[in-house]
């Protein structure tokens, strides 16, 4: 409610340019409007919400509208939280970024001896993609322990550790398991105790699929994912790879992500040194239709820190301009369109203010 009142006061008292910027954003969000899978959009400037809005539907079958409180599966936007968990444990002295992954997960093959946590954070570890190891006939969901077993039985690697970049969901699943080993807590509990609760991200959780009695398996105000197939929207909320955690299992909403964004400007969660490490370019991204470097859970392009997230039925992105103190977040429960370019266009008039 406080966010909504603040937004209303800003838009009522702001210059005409603010109105034009909002109209531009609404125009760019037209595909999400109506009786279709929708999106939630947040524009933050100097910590204030200039736009905070839902479009379309979170649940087509029940005709539930998207609101700022709707929880979306973040997919790979989750990686920044897994990275933050590793950095917190490094601050605690429970691990170091130069630890071998095999020190923490000794069932992995000897070919991973020289793969460090640091290299998993910036995707230079060279691990095989677990998605490519799943038997094609498998229909049940793959767990983190399944991923560990698949990788433990695979001595192959793409390249020598630290010698190249290749985006790796495998690496972030393993990082989530390291968090558990180093902390003695389940990953979902560590994230809740050390990140979500301290930041009052009260509607954010790491979704646990295989425990229906756990509060971590109930997503509040949940958006379900959809894909357009043969001209019709069909629910495609889960896939075989939707149960892994460290690489993409968090659900959140734009209001909670505003609190996360605020914490990235000061030391209320991470130390100055940890934030500098996360936001520094450690590897050059290759094989993508954009130019970027990679930090720890963040891509770096020009003045922006950003990350996208895509899983079956969801497309999300968070883009931050720290120097201008502007952040735009777009969460959607549909397979198309890809939101990154739309967010850049939404941001331009706000950056010009």
Q: Which amino acids are annotated catalytic?
A: 76
Q: How far apart are CA 151 and CA 170, in angstroms?
A: 8
Distance of CA 122 to the CA centre of its chain: 15
Q: How far apart are CA 23 and CA 330, in angstroms?
A: 16
- CB of 220 closer than 8 Å to CB of 55: no
Contact residues for 11 (Cβ-Cβ < 8 A; gap 6+): 18, 19, 22, 50
H helix intervals, 235-335: 254-263, 272-279
**Helix, strand counts (H, E) of the chain:** 11, 15
- CB of 347 closer than 8 Å to CB of 321: yes
Q: How far apart are CA 112 and CA 108, in angstroms?
A: 7
Q: How far apart are CA 18 and CA 97, in angstroms?
A: 43
- What is the DSSP secondary structure assignment for residue 285, as one 8-state letter? -
Give me 10's structure tokens. Answer: 């800003």
């Amino acid at each position: 409610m406080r966010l909504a009142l603040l937004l209303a006061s800003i838009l009522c008292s702001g210059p005409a340019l603010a109105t034009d910027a909002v109209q531009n954003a609404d125009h760019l969000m037209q595909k999400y409007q109506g009786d279709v899978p929708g999106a939630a959009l947040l524009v933050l400037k100097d910590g204030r919400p200039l736009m905070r809005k839902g479009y379309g539907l979170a649940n087509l079958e029940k005709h539930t509208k998207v609101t700022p409180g709707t929880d979306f599966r973040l997919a790979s936007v989750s990686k920044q939280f897994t990275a933050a968990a590793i950095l917190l444990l490094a601050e605690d002295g429970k691990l170091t970024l130069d630890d071998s992954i095999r020190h923490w997960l000794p069932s992995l093959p000897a070919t991973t001896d020289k793969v460090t946590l640091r290299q998993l954070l910036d995707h230079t570890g060279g691990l095989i993609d677990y998605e490519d190891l799943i038997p094609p006939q498998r229909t049940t969901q793959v767990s983190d322990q399944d991923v560990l077993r698949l990788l433990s039985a695979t001595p192959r690697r793409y390249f020598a550790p630290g010698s190249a970049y290749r985006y790796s969901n495998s690496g972030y699943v393993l990082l989530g398991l390291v968090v558990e080993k180093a902390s003695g807590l389940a990953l979902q509990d560590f994230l809740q105790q050390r990140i979500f609760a301290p930041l009052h991200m009260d509607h954010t959780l790491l979704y646990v699929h295989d425990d229906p009695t756990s509060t971590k398996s109930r997503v509040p105000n949940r958006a379900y994912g959809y894909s357009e197939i043969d001209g019709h929207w069909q629910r495609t909320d889960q896939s075989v790879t939707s149960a892994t955690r460290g690489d993409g299992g968090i659900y959140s909403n734009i209001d909670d992500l505003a609190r996360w964004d605020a914490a990235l400007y000061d030391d209320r969660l991470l130390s100055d040194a940890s934030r500098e490490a996360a936001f520094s370019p450690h590897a050059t991204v290759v094989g993508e239709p954009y130019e970027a470097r990679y930090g720890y859970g963040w891509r770096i392009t020009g003045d922006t820190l950003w990350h996208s997230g895509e899983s079956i039925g969801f497309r999300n992105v968070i883009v931050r301009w720290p120097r201008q103190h502007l952040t735009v977040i777009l969460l959607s429960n549909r397979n198309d369109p890809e939101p990154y370019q739309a967010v850049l266009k939404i941001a331009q008039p706000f950056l010009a203010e």
